[in-house]
Amino acid sequence: MGILVNGTWQVDQLINNKEDGKFVRPDSPFRDWITADGSPGPDGQRAYPAAKGRYHLYVSLACPWAHRTLIVRALKGLEDMISLSVVHWHMGDQSWSFEAGDGVIADPVIHADYLHQIYTLAKPDMTGKVTVPVLFDKQAKKIVNNESADIIRILNEAFNDLGALPGDFYPLPLRGEIDEINERIYHTLNNGVYQCGFATTQAAYEEAFVPLFETLDFLNEELETQEYLIANQLTEADIRLFTTLIRFDSVYFSHFKCNKKRIQDYPYLHRFVERMMLNPKIANTVNLHHIKHHYYGSHKQLNPSGVVPLGPELIY
């Protein structure tokens, strides 16, 4: 683990909380956009034009944030338009690497050994964390965006005129409802599990634990009478929820001390995960080996031995 400081890699601890013990996720520094014709993004951001073969996606199969982008890339049929690299599950002193291993896809841009080399290629004086996903412009040698919430919306719309598969996971009439439920799920669940797992005081842990399970209770009730969260159709809200739920019982329940209930103890959340896994495009993006080995094998502050548990037995 580490951080870039003025373009130089410095080894650092995974968890560096302040005195209150709360984990604070850093903001994503690259927030440009891709649109069909290069016109500005939805909030006026600088944008690049959609083009087949121009853009490259860097992901980890372990990371729930990167997993969102893999799912939308698959559902939109963008595999031949946006190339892909997959980092190794183990995150060591140099952070994400392209060390050879099952499921790893090497970097074709500069044949990098480490993802931080892609960051300094794009911004030589970069200071900050090196995270996945990364949407990279191979033509301009720039990082377009490294915020997963942005990237899934880019993939949802920008390539439609170039032959992307039909399907709109952020439809205009439902955006208000999607944004509202995303807000709760992000703060209390997607990020909430990390606030539990990376808390370094009891108070910080309990402050995150309670709303986490209040949200799971709420979502279980919401899904009792419908298949998906909004208007009973698959939207980005479901995708953002799924990537946390699929990791919950294997990792977050024990490794992050989110141990009040498993997803298998919630009948409608469990049914939701089963339904999502019935879609082969989604199921093919799930790699439980990378997920479990990354968390238990990389987070030495939480699991110094690096021993990876063999269980639990999942029913998906």
Task: List beta partners, residue 2.
Answer: 11
Q: Binding site annotation covers 131?
A: yes
Alpha-carbon Rg of the chain, whole angstroms? 19
Answer yes or no: 48 catalytic: no
Does 194 qualify as catalytic in the annotation? Answer: yes
**Exposed / middle / buried, residue 214 (Cβ in 10 Å: 0-12, 13-18, 19+):** middle
Residue 214 annotated as lining a ligand binding site = no
CA 293, 155, 219 angle in degrees (round to 5)?
A: 60
129 is in an annotated binding site: yes
Amino acid at 292: K
With a CB cutoff of 8 Å and minimum separation 6, the contacts of 156 are: 72, 76, 168, 169, 170, 236
* Among 55, 63, 252, 258, the one annotated catalytic: 63
Q: Is 188 helix (H, G, I), strand (E, B) or coil?
A: helix
Residue 130 annotated as binding site: yes
Q: How many angstroms separate the CA atoms of 53 and 106, rounded?
A: 17
Catalytic position from the list 58, 119, 194, 296? 194
Residue 147 assigned as binding residue: yes
148 is in an annotated binding site: yes
User: CA 61, CA 86: separation in Å to the nearest integer?
Assistant: 7
For residues 233 and 180, give the distance between their C-alpha atoms in angstroms, rounded to a whole number.
16
Binding annotation for glutathione: 96, 129-132, 147-148
Binding annotation: 96, 129-132, 147-148
Catalytic positions, please?
Answer: 63, 194
